[in-house]
Amino acid sequence: MFPASGQARYGDGKRTMTNEIWGTVRQELLKSVGHNNYRNWIEPLEFAHIDDGVALFHVPSLFMGDWVQRNFGDQILSQIGKADDRVNRIEFRVSSVKSPRPAAQKRANAPTRAPQPEGDLPGAALDDRFTFDSFVVGKPNELAHAAARRVAEGGPVTFNPLFLYSGVGLGKTHLMHAIAWELQDRDPGIRVVYLSAEQFMYRFVQALRDKQMMDFKQLFRSVDVLMVDDVQFIAGKDSTQEEFFHTFNALVDQRKQIIISADCAPGEIEGLESRIVSRMQSGLVVDLHPTSYELRLGILQKKVEQFRPQFKGVVLADGVLEFLAHRVTANVRVLEGALMRLFAFGSLVGREMDLALTQECLVDILRQSDRKTTVEEIQRKVSDHYNIRLSDLIGPKRVRTFARPRQVAMYLCKQLTQRSLPEIGRRFGGRDHTTIMHGVKRIEELRGKDSQIAEDLELLRRSLEEQ
Ligand code: ADP
Ligand code: MG
What confidence tens digit (pLDDT) does each residue in 73-86 have?
989 998 888 888 88
147 neighbors 284 (Cβ within 8 angstroms):
yes
Does residue 110 register a pLDDT over 80? no
- Provide the pLDDT for residue 196: 94
Which pLDDT band holds residue 464 (cuts at 50, 70, 90)? Answer: confident
Quote the pLDDT of residue 145. 96
**Residue 231 above 60 pLDDT?**
yes
User: How many angstroms is it from 332 CA to the middle of ligand 1?
Assistant: 6
Kindly list the protein residues whose Cβ atom lies closer than 6 A to any atom of ligand 1: 130, 134-136, 141, 166, 168-174, 299, 332-333, 336
pLDDT of residue 466: 62
Rg (CA), the chain: 27
Ligand 2 centroid to Cα of residue 289, in Å, is 14
d(Cα 76, Cα 79) in Å, to the nearest integer?
5
Pairing of the two strands 46-51 and 162-165: unpaired
- pLDDT, residue 371, reads 56
Largest CA distance in the chain: 88
> Hey, whose CA ends up nearest to atom 14 of ligand 1?
333
Nearest ligand atom owner, CA of 230: 2
Predicted confidence at residue 114, as pLDDT, reads 35
Residue 464 has phi, psi (to 5 degrees) of: -70, -35
Dist CA 466 CA 461 (whole Å):
9
What is the residue type of 296?
Answer: R
Could you give the 3-state DSSP secondary structure of residue 262? strand
Ligand 1: atom nearest CA of 168 is 4
Query: If we measure between CA atoms, which residue out of 61, 59, 57 comes closest to residue 47?
Result: 57
Beta bridge partners of 229: 196
- pLDDT tens-digit readout, 177-196: 999 999 999 999 999 999 99
How far does residue 23's CA lie from ligand 2's centre (Å)? 34
State the Cα–Cα distance between residues 314 and 348, nearest whole angstrom.
Answer: 9
pLDDT tens digits for 135-174? Answer: 999 999 999 999 999 999 998 888 999 999 998 999 999 9
User: What does the alpha-carbon distance between residue 245 and residue 293 come to, in Å, rounded to a whole number?
Assistant: 39
Question: Residue 202 — very low, low, confident or very high, per pLDDT cuts 50/70/90?
Answer: very high
Specify the DSSP element, H or E, that contains 144: helix 142-152
Task: Quickly count: other Cβ atoms within 10 Å of residue 47's Cβ.
Answer: 20
Mean pLDDT over the full length of the chain: 86
Does residue 5 carry a pLDDT above 50?
no
Spatial contact of 249 and 220, defined as CB atoms under 8 Å apart: no
The pLDDT of residue 276 is 93
Segment 13-42, tens digit of pLDDT:
445 677 788 888 888 888 888 877 787 788
Q: How far is CA 69 from the centre of its chain?
A: 17
Question: Stretch 218-231: mean pLDDT, rounded?
Answer: 94
Nearest residue (by CA) to ligand 1, atom 6, is 171
Nearest CA to ligand 1 atom 26: 135
pLDDT exceeds 50 at position 105: no
Whole-number Å distance, alpha carbon 299 to ligand 1 midpoint, is: 10
Nearest-CA residue for atom 20 of ligand 1: 171
What distances in angstroms separate CA 250 from CA 242, 245, 275, 285, one per listed residue?
Answer: 13, 9, 15, 20
User: Has residue 348 got a pLDDT over 50?
Assistant: yes
Backbone angles phi, psi at 200, to 5 degrees: -60, -45
101 contact partners, CB below 8 Å, separation of at least 6: 128, 181, 185
Task: Give 331 Cα–ligand 1 centroid separation in angstroms.
Answer: 8
Going by their DSSP bridges, the two strands 225-229 and 257-262 should be labelled as: parallel
3-state secondary structure at position 255: coil
Of 98, 108, 81, 74, the residue nearest 14 (C-alpha): 81
Across the range 288-300, mean pLDDT stands at: 94
Under DSSP, is residue 196 helix (H, G, I), strand (E, B) or coil?
Answer: strand
- pLDDT at 399 exceeding the cut of 60: yes
Q: Would you say residue 253 has pLDDT above 70?
A: yes
Ligand 2 centroid to 210 CA: how many Å?
Answer: 29
* 272 and 163 Cβ atoms separated by less than 8 Å: no
Beta strands 54-59 and 46-51: pairing type?
Answer: antiparallel
Give yes or no for a contact between 84 and 50, defined as CB atoms under 8 angstroms apart: yes
Measured CA to CA, the distance from residue 460 to residue 134 in angstroms comes to 30
Q: What is the pLDDT of residue 229?
A: 96
pLDDT of residue 51: 84
**Which amino acid, one-letter code, is at 98?**
K
Ligand with smallest separation from the Cα of 294: 1
Per-residue model confidence (pLDDT) at position 109: 40
36-83 pLDDT, tens digit each? 778 778 888 888 888 888 889 888 777 678 778 888 898 999 888 888
241, 288, 338, 351 from 259: Cα distances, Å: 16, 15, 30, 45
Question: Distance of alpha carbon 121 from its chain centroid, rounded?
Answer: 25
* CB-based contact 13:85 (threshold 8 Å): yes
> Are 226 and 130 a contacting pair, CB within 8 Å?
no
Q: What is the pLDDT of residues 296-342, one digit of tens each?
A: 999 999 999 988 888 888 999 999 999 999 999 888 999 999 999 99
Is pLDDT of 204 > 50?
A: yes
Mean pLDDT of 422-427: 93
Q: Which of 145, 168, 174 to mutate to test the pocket of ligand 1 (most atoms within 8 A of CB)?
A: 174
**Ligand nearest to the Cα of 330, by number:** 1
Rounded average pLDDT over 251-280? 93
Q: Which ligand is the nearest neighbour of the Cα of 129? A: 1
Supply the pLDDT for residue 350. Answer: 86
Check: CB of residue 56 under 8 Å from CB of residue 48: yes
The DSSP element (H or E) to which 51 belongs, if any, is: strand 46-51
User: Ligand 1 centroid vs 135 CA: distance in angstroms?
Assistant: 8
What proportion of the chain, given as a percentage, has pLDDT over 70? 89
Residue nearest atom 19 of ligand 1, based on CA coordinates: 171
Predicted confidence at residue 103, as pLDDT, reads: 45
